A and B are shown apart, each in its own frame.
Chain A
Amino acid sequence: MPLLSVEELSVTFTARGRKDATAVDGVSFDVDQGQVVGLVGESGCGKSVTSLALMGLLPRKGVRIGGRAEFDGRNLLGISERKLRDLRGSQLAMIFQDPLSSLNPVVPIGIQVTEILQRHRGLKGEKARKEAASLLDRVGIPDPDRRLKEYPHQLSGGMRQRALIAMAVACAPRLLIADEPTTALDVTIQAQILELLKELVDQEGTALLMITHDLGVVAGLCDEVNVLYAGRAVESAGRRELFAHPTHPYAHGLLGSIPRLDAPRGEPLRPIRGSINDKIAWADGCAFAPRCDHYTLECLTGTPELTEPRATGHQVRCVNPVLPQAEVPA
């Protein structure tokens, strides 16, 4: 049984005086112990809202959440706020994109870390301080004793993200949700953080739900990949399978539109036309149809089902998937 099993998660924002906006429209995926699962997509695909819904961090008012998210036998979407708070930090932890705004600017790092240790592990005083220092050391922050006394603004971006990771793993959570953890960082720092995350997964067996827009990061880190578009998963597969045979026209197009460092120069990119604003409601058809080169009338009649046109376990939500014979260049 998977550690986290999300079924048909949907999130709708219902602000007064506005049309309801569905940010997540039926997303399902599983995360196993020690596994890295990626949610990939561009802005507006619902990946961040999914993570906030799982952590119970969405406002209670003006938000309608549907579906189930079984974590270790409990439905995260149904349990009380208090139980959820106990789970957060001890079993579930999250790392955000912007490390500066996720740290309290007026409290030294040390106090922020020991607070968590105190709350979830009951450590106090010197013991908590020692543990905090060893945590910082663990995530590769040099001179942890000094750093504990410093404030977030005194640390560099990479350092802050490390401090945040230290806080997230303070109680050895079973599931770590990372929402664009490296987007705000430079590539050389990104490489450091990704290695750190890899190490955590390998050594502690933590499950990692990685949310990112960067297919390169996914290719290096994730075991299973879910590609999201307009609030729904359009393709899910193991990473090798997905990158070798992107089958949904969106995933296929996305991979074709990214300039690759190792691609020979002069090879033109194949962009996807239009923008994320050109979409139709999933209830009417495939949201990607307006930007798709392969769409037919069939695409415009209700939500396409998930099928496995290529290999078992490689799910694609498309009636006209990109299959080998279609890949012949025009």
Chain B
Amino acid sequence: MSLLELDGVKVHFPVKKGLFFDRTVGHVYAVDGVSLSVEAGQTYGLVGESGCGKTTLGRAVLRLNDITDGAVVFDGTDLAKLPSEEMRAFRRRLQMVFQDPLGSLNPRQNIESILAEGMAAHNIGKDQAERREKIKEILAKVGLPSNAMSRYPHEFSGGQRQRIGIARALVLEPDVIICDEPVSALDVSVQAQVINLLEELQESLGLTYLVIAHDLAVVRHISDVIGVMYLGGLVEEAPSDALYAGPRHPYTKALMSAVPVPDPEVEDRRERILLHGDLPSPANPPAGCRFHTRCPWVQETKCATERPPLLDTGDGHKVACHFTAEIEAGTVKQTLATGIEAVISTEAVATEAVEVSEGDAETADAPVKKEEEPATVPAQADAGEAERAEESPKA
């Protein structure tokens, strides 16, 4: 069994309005049904662009946000239902490293006080002297001099501050560390120091990481398994190498093709899949597949009406798309141009589109392979299918 398991986690923020007492006028569906599991000693990387809900999800695991629905099972305990004092005790074992190294450190506390506070809250170490020894040891481990203890956060460089943030987590001897954009605020040359440090610590302390980042290259470098999020839900999950070798969800394909690689040879051979438009608002997400408004392969049926579940397509490679197999096989039509007015639709895509347009009639007719349909289609999907049935005669 996995160390950390998320099952159908939803985090909806109420949108409030009102003069005296607030009325809820709607919800932001920041995280809308995410299930994943993190194995002990491994690193799970969660990627997605801003607004996809990855940070909210990370915070929800620690219950820094209220969880609307679903379970967060850590080592056999469902954290989502714990009373707050018990949850507080559990936080010793689940720690977090934040994106903004300066902002996440209290500017008026010195380093020793910052680190000792957490230890005191969990009764680690008998007295101040013992805590101080422990702090010294951890500071050495993260590569800070011991005279750092009496200094204040503003007296350090960005990389050093992030080391302090990591030390703050480590003094509690946690099992899991959630790293929310651990390097994105740092200079490029310093990012590698922190990434290497995280990897060394994982090796020597047997830590489990949930790394949340927008930078696919960073995530791929340190993760064993990668989950790709879009607008509150996972669209694809696979072992790191498998995901890189063959992304299957259209969004992942586009994301991967957009990441710049510092190598002109690669860049020049690049075939970019450019997405149309912008991320829809999570307060009013599109019905059906959340990605269908921007998907280059959007189909007339199903996509707009039925939310695709995350299904294993083999070798632990999970995809949430109705047409994974068809896109792979090239039997569905690419419907939206991929580019600024389709300037550079990729070669592969272009040929695919041509091929498909020849057999236009049949693809429109039979876009759905029944075996792809799972037995566990949610109730709403049934309604979607009914709608589709009504629509299809017109097509």
Whether chain A touches chain B in the assembled complex (some CB pair under 8 Å): yes
* Residue from B189, B255, B259, B265 in contact with A42 in the complex, judged by beta carbons closer than 8 Å: B189
What is the interface of chain B mostly: helix, strand, loop, or mixed? Answer: helix
Count the A residues whose beta carbon is within 8 Å of the partner chain — how many?
52
Q: B261 touching A262 by the CB < 8 A rule?
A: yes
A187 close to B (CB within 8 Å): yes
A106 close to B (CB within 8 Å): no
A257 to B190, alpha carbons, bound, how many Å?
8
A74 close to B (CB within 8 Å): no
A213 close to B (CB within 8 Å): yes
A304 to B295, alpha carbons, bound, how many Å?
53
Q: A261 touching B188 by the CB < 8 A rule?
A: no
Which residues between 229 and 282 of chain B lie within 8 Å of chain A, taking CB atoms?
A: 240-241, 244, 254-268, 270, 272, 274-275, 277-279
Q: A187 touching B49 by the CB < 8 A rule?
A: yes
A272 to B189, alpha carbons, bound, how many Å?
6
Q: A216 touching B188 by the CB < 8 A rule?
A: no
Q: B195 touching A269 by the CB < 8 A rule?
A: yes
A228 to B258, alpha carbons, bound, how many Å?
26
* Residue from A158, A196, A213, A243 in contact with B278 in the complex, judged by beta carbons closer than 8 Å: A158
A50 to B75, alpha carbons, bound, how many Å?
54
B24 close to A (CB within 8 Å): no
Asked, given contacts A158-B278, A265-B220, whether A271 binds B260 with beta carbons under 8 Å apart, the answer is: no
For B227, the chain A residues whose CB sits under 8 A away are none
Which residues between 251 and 290 of chain A lie within 8 Å of chain B, taking CB atoms?
A: 253-255, 257-263, 265, 268-273, 275-277
- The stretch from A128-136, A217-225, A308-316 touching chain B is A217-225
For A187, the chain B residues whose CB sits under 8 A away are 49, 214, 216, 255, 258-260
Q: B278 touching A189 by the CB < 8 A rule?
A: yes
* Residue from A194, A196, A255, A291 in contact with B262 in the complex, judged by beta carbons closer than 8 Å: A255
Asked, given contacts A188-B49, A243-B264, whether A259 binds B189 with beta carbons under 8 Å apart, the answer is: no
A190 close to B (CB within 8 Å): yes
Q: Report A139 CB to chain B, min CB distance, Å.
A: 8
For A194, the chain B residues whose CB sits under 8 A away are 260
A159 to B278, alpha carbons, bound, how many Å?
8
Q: B244 touching A261 by the CB < 8 A rule?
A: yes
A214 close to B (CB within 8 Å): yes
Closest B residue to A220 using CB positions: B267
Asked, given contacts A42-B188, A218-B262, whether A275 binds B214 with beta carbons under 8 Å apart, the answer is: no
- The stretch from B60-68, B121-129, B155-163, B315-323 touching chain A is B155-163
Q: A192 touching B261 by the CB < 8 A rule?
A: no
For B255, the chain A residues whose CB sits under 8 A away are 187-188
For B205, the chain A residues whose CB sits under 8 A away are none
Q: Report A193 CB to chain B, min CB distance, Å.
A: 9
Q: B272 touching A258 by the CB < 8 A rule?
A: no
Q: Report A201 CB to chain B, min CB distance, Å.
A: 13
Q: B260 touching A216 by the CB < 8 A rule?
A: yes
Asked, given contacts A186-B50, A192-B275, whether A271 binds B192 with beta carbons under 8 Å apart, the answer is: yes
A190 to B215, alpha carbons, bound, how many Å?
12
Q: Report A156 CB to chain B, min CB distance, Å.
A: 4
Q: B192 touching A259 by the CB < 8 A rule?
A: yes
For B265, the chain A residues whose CB sits under 8 A away are 240, 243
A272 to B259, alpha carbons, bound, how many Å?
23
Closest B residue to A250 using CB positions: B189
Closest B residue to A276 using CB positions: B187
A220 to B265, alpha carbons, bound, how many Å?
9
A190 to B214, alpha carbons, bound, how many Å?
13
B217 close to A (CB within 8 Å): yes
For B263, the chain A residues whose CB sits under 8 A away are 219, 243, 260, 262
A53 to B272, alpha carbons, bound, how many Å?
35
Which residues between 168 and 200 of chain B lie within 8 Å of chain A, taking CB atoms?
A: 187-193, 195-196, 199
Q: B196 touching A140 by the CB < 8 A rule?
A: no
B218 close to A (CB within 8 Å): yes
- B266-306 interface bits toward A, Cβ cutoff 8 Å, 1 = contact, 0 = none: 11101010110111000000000000000000000000000
For A196, the chain B residues whose CB sits under 8 A away are 340
A215 close to B (CB within 8 Å): yes
* Residue from A159, A244, A261, A273 in contact with B217 in the complex, judged by beta carbons closer than 8 Å: A261
For A271, the chain B residues whose CB sits under 8 A away are 189-193, 195-196
For B214, the chain A residues whose CB sits under 8 A away are 186-187
Q: B264 touching A269 by the CB < 8 A rule?
A: no
Q: Report B267 CB to chain A, min CB distance, Å.
A: 4
For A204, the chain B residues whose CB sits under 8 A away are none
Which residues between 237 and 253 of chain A lie within 8 Å of chain B, taking CB atoms?
A: 239-240, 243-244, 253
B339 close to A (CB within 8 Å): yes
For B343, the chain A residues whose CB sits under 8 A away are 195, 199
Q: Report B275 CB to chain A, min CB distance, Å.
A: 5
B154 close to A (CB within 8 Å): no
Q: Report A269 CB to chain B, min CB distance, Å.
A: 4
- Max chain B CB contacts within 10 Å: which of A194, A253, A265? A265
B341 close to A (CB within 8 Å): yes
Closest A residue to B143 using CB positions: A273
A273 to B268, alpha carbons, bound, how many Å?
31
A255 to B262, alpha carbons, bound, how many Å?
8
Which residues between 342 and 364 of chain B lie within 8 Å of chain A, taking CB atoms?
A: 343-344
A154 close to B (CB within 8 Å): no
Closest B residue to A190 using CB positions: B258
For B256, the chain A residues whose CB sits under 8 A away are 261
For A189, the chain B residues whose CB sits under 8 A away are 49, 278
* Residue from B187, B221, B241 in contact with A269 in the complex, judged by beta carbons closer than 8 Å: B221
Closest A residue to B219 using CB positions: A259
Q: List 11 other contacts, CB 8 Å, given A239-B264, A259-B218, A272-B193.
A: A187-B216, A187-B259, A213-B187, A253-B189, A257-B191, A258-B262, A260-B262, A261-B220, A265-B241, A271-B191, A272-B190
A-B contact list, 22 entries, CB within 8 Å? A42-B187, A140-B340, A187-B49, A189-B278, A190-B260, A192-B275, A214-B260, A216-B261, A239-B264, A240-B264, A255-B262, A257-B188, A259-B192, A259-B217, A261-B217, A262-B266, A265-B241, A271-B189, A271-B190, A271-B191, A272-B189, A275-B160
The 9 closest A-B pairs by CB, nearest first: A216-B260, A271-B192, A257-B192, A259-B221, A191-B258, A220-B267, A186-B49, A215-B262, A269-B192
Chain B residues at the A interface, C-beta cutoff of 8 Å: 49-50, 157-160, 187-193, 195-196, 199, 214-218, 220-222, 240-241, 244, 254-268, 270, 272, 274-275, 277-279, 339-341, 343-344
